[in-house]
Amino acid sequence: EGVGVQEYTALKLRVKEWAAPAQKKVEGLIPEGGKVYFVPATLRPETMYGQTCCFVGPAIDYAIYEVEKGKEYYFVSDRAARNMAFQSIFPTWGVYPKIADLKGSDVVGTLVHAPLSVQSDGVRILPMESVKASKGTGVVTSVPSDSPDDYATMMELVKKAEYYGIKKEWADLEILPIIETPSYGNLTAKFLVEKMKINSPKDAKQLAEAKDLAYKEGFYKGKMIYGDFAGKSVEEAKPLVRQQLLDAGEAFAYAE
C-alpha cells in the first residue's frame, strides 16, 4: 500500500430478500422496518448504471452493524467496520456496533436494490474468489462493461453456475454500454478480456494489466453515453454522479 489516501464512494444496496442461510442468522435481530444495506466501495461511481450483481468473498468474515437504532444497518467486512468507526459513519466515534456475524457464503443469492442500476428489480449477491479482505469494504459491486475483473468473474459464474451454487440467470444478464472510448469501443472490459485472451478470473497478472488500461482509457478519453450526464467526459461526469448519489442518501464517503 502507498502512503496516499483512497477516497471511495460507498454505495448503499438495500436488502430486499435474504438468502436462506443469512435469513436464519439475522432472524429476530433486525426489527420490522429496519433496513440493511450491502456497502460496496467503488472508484467508478459514474458506472453504477451498469451494475448487474454485487460480489462478496465466500470465505471472508463479514458482519452487520447498526448505524441508526432499529432503522439502518450496514453489511461490511469486520476490517472495514473498524475503519468506519473512526470516520463518523457509526453513531459513536470509535465504536463498531456489531449485531450479527456472517460469512460471505451465507449471503450468496440475497436480492438487493442497486442505486442507479438499470436492473430496477434488484441484483443478486454473488461469489467472487478474488475479493480481497484487506481492501475497501470487502463488498464489490459488479459493472461488467467497464471492469475487466467483474467481466471475467461474470463469465466464470455463467459457465459454472452449478459449481458455484447459483442460478445461471442471476449472473447471465445483458451488459449495458455506459462509456464510449476511442480504443476499446463501448464495452471496454469485454473488449480487453477478449483481446488479451483472459480465460479465467484467476489470470491475475493479465487482469491487472487490463484493469490499468481500462481505467486510464476510460478516465482520460471516455465519454458518457448513458445517464443524466450523457455527452460529458468521464472526468467531468464522475464527481457529478458521485454528488447525486451522496445527495440522494444512496452513498457516503469512505476513505482508507
Binding positions for ligand A2H, rule: CB under 6 A? 6, 41-44, 47, 131-132, 135-136, 138, 140-143, 146-147, 150, 211, 215
Asked whether the beta carbons of 153 and 130 are under 8 A apart, the reply is yes
Complex with ligand A2H: residue 106 or 217, whichever CB lies closer: 217
* Residue sitting closest to ligand A2H (CB): 136
Output the smallest distance, CB 92 to ligand A2H, in A. Answer: 26
Task: Specify the residue, 29 or 255, whose C-beta has the smaller distance to ligand A2H.
Answer: 255
Q: How far apart are CA 59 and CA 102, in angstroms?
A: 10
Q: How far is the CB of 35 from ligand A2H (least distance, A)?
A: 22
Closest CA to 180 of 143, 147, 145, 148: 145
Which positions ≥6 away from 174 have C-beta within 8 Å? none
Whole-number minimum distance, CB 171 to ligand A2H, in Å?
15
Decide whether 34 or 191 has the Cβ nearer to ligand A2H. 191
Q: How far apart are CB 164 and ligand A2H at their closest, in Å?
A: 17
Q: Pick left, alpha or beta for residue 94 (phi over 0 → left; psi -120 to 50 → alpha; otherwise beta).
A: left
Instruction: Classify strands 53-56 and 123-127 as parallel, antiparallel or unpaired.
Output: parallel
CB 240 within 8 A of CB 229: yes
Q: Which is nearer to ligand A2H, 34 or 201 (CB)?
A: 201
Q: Please, which residue, 68 or 194, has the CB nearer to ligand A2H?
A: 194
